[in-house]
Amino acid sequence: MLIKAWFKINHIHYRGRKLSKNKGFSNTSANRYSLALFELATEANILNKIEENSNSFLNLMSDNRDFDDLVKDPTISQDTLMNIINKISENFNIENLFKNFLNFLIIKRRFFYVQQILNSFVEICSEKRGELKAEIQSAKELTQEEINKITDELSNNFKSKIKLNYKHDQSLIGGLIVQVGSTMIDTSIKNKLQQIENRMIEA
């Protein structure tokens, strides 16, 4: 949360050129980088902290369009990107290993794929703990008690530990979107309105 606020203050006006992802970078390539990060974090005995840093960075990209555009703009110089990463590290509790890994991606011209790589890393961490990844979006902001209750219910239904990622999304108008692995349940009003619109178009 603090990282998001810091970036908003310092880079709120960025609107650069955003290009489509190079299809040559496969999931296998992403897994290679993410597995390397996992092994380094495990050896340094800071795996939990690196996973926390990764989730914070991913949330920043998801919630801050300016930062997401900047990361995915190939015209931004390596020096500029490294300066931003170093400033974030200086102001917040970011592990040196995580900072160095991000800078390594910049040098190797793979920072464009950092979201894919870090998502793969987080998934590896969950798999090693025997967890099943779940994502929930809700129109109404849920309390921690409600989130915990949903997590427990999903864990009972799927007979597995649940790694829950929650996001408040007012654009849904009402209801929930729940995705566990390849299973998705969409009860949002936005989805129902879209279904009605599609039926009207087809009529």
Q: Read off the pLDDT of each residue in 98-105 and give the average, rounded to a whole number.
A: 95
Query: Which domains are seen in the chain, by residue range?
Result: 2-126 (1.10.520), 132-202 (no CATH)
Model pTM score: 0.65
- In the structure, what pLDDT confidence band is assigned to residue 17 with cuts at 50, 70 and 90? very low
* The predicted structure's pLDDT at residue 99: 95
**Cβ pair 173, 157 in contact under 8 A:** no
pLDDT higher than threshold 90 for residue 38: yes
Please give the C-alpha separations between residue 49 and each of 64, 65, 119, 175, in angstroms, as whole numbers.
Answer: 22, 25, 15, 33
Residue keyed to tokens 């849904």: 172
Rounded Cα gap, residues 19 and 147, in angstroms: 36
Residue keyed to tokens 């190079």: 22
Q: What is the pLDDT of residues 166-203, one digit of tens each?
A: 888 888 777 888 888 768 787 777 676 677 667 656 65
Rounded Cα gap, residues 37 and 46, in angstroms: 11
- In the structure, what pLDDT confidence band is assigned to residue 7 with cuts at 50, 70 and 90? very low
Rounded Cα gap, residues 30 and 42, in angstroms: 18
